[in-house]
Amino acid sequence: MDGMNHPDLKRYPVPAQETRVEIHVKNSRFIATLARVFSVDEARVFIDRVRQEFSDATHNVPAYVVGHGAAVTAHSNDDGEPVGTAGRPVLAVLQGSGLGDTALVVTRYFGGTKLGTGGLVRAYGDAARAVLDAAPRAERVPTHTVLTTVPYSLFEPLRLLIQAHSGRTLDEAFAAEVAVTVQFARERLPAFQDALRELSNGTREAEIIGSDNDTIMPLG
């Protein structure tokens, strides 16, 4: 079973890398740290790591969304701030970003001036927005890795075919024929297979040699 039509295996945006941004509001420091996570356990490990790094902070407010769309697990915590003033606005900003598989911790060092309920909501939300604006995006793309061999006369046409179907060539081996290893988004593989059969007059097909539900491809 290759999972090509599995309803949960859809491409969606995720953070490309861990990102951190700091803002200042009335002498309080708000340090927002964002990371990509693929499970609740990974989210908890990330949150614990940030809490240990900033163990002397006044608050470390976590939020995460694991999954995407309807199949998502979401969580937030006020970490000692007044109820609803910290975790909820951070989570709301995160959910509004459209990203999946993302954990975010907003660390606060109290600067001596109370912000009030509305001020806290704005400050935590602004910190979350700042790091989301700064974070580069990638896509979580379910992929198949395939292997095909062609005669030298079809090598250049095959390269063009791979490019046309947004494949990523991983390896080329030159012997009696050319063996090419390519990674495709699963949704693109059937059309490539059809085109390869047409190119080779039905004599060649790509063999699936590996699959990955969590291939990360940077977005422009």
pLDDT tens column, 84-128? 999 999 999 999 999 999 999 999 999 888 888 899 999 999 999
Residue 207 domain boundaries: 139-218
Of the residues 83, 110, 135, which one is the last residue of a structural domain? 135
Is there a single domain that holds both residue 212 and residue 195? yes
- CA proximity to 94, closest of 72, 111, 109: 72
Is there a single domain that holds both residue 53 and residue 153? no
pLDDT given at position 12: 86
Q: Is the pLDDT of residue 166 over 90?
A: no
- Domain assignment present for residue 121? The answer is yes
How many domains in the chain? 2
- Domain assignment present for residue 80? The answer is yes
pLDDT given at position 6: 40
- Domain assignment present for residue 7? The answer is no
Q: Is the pLDDT of residue 9 over 80?
A: no
* Range 36-49 average pLDDT: 95
* 164 SS3 class: helix
The Cα–Cα gap between 2 and 195 comes to 20
Strands laid side by side in the 71-76 sheet: 19-25, 28-36, 102-109, 59-68, 71-76
pLDDT given at position 84: 92
Choose between 130 and 185: higher pLDDT: 130
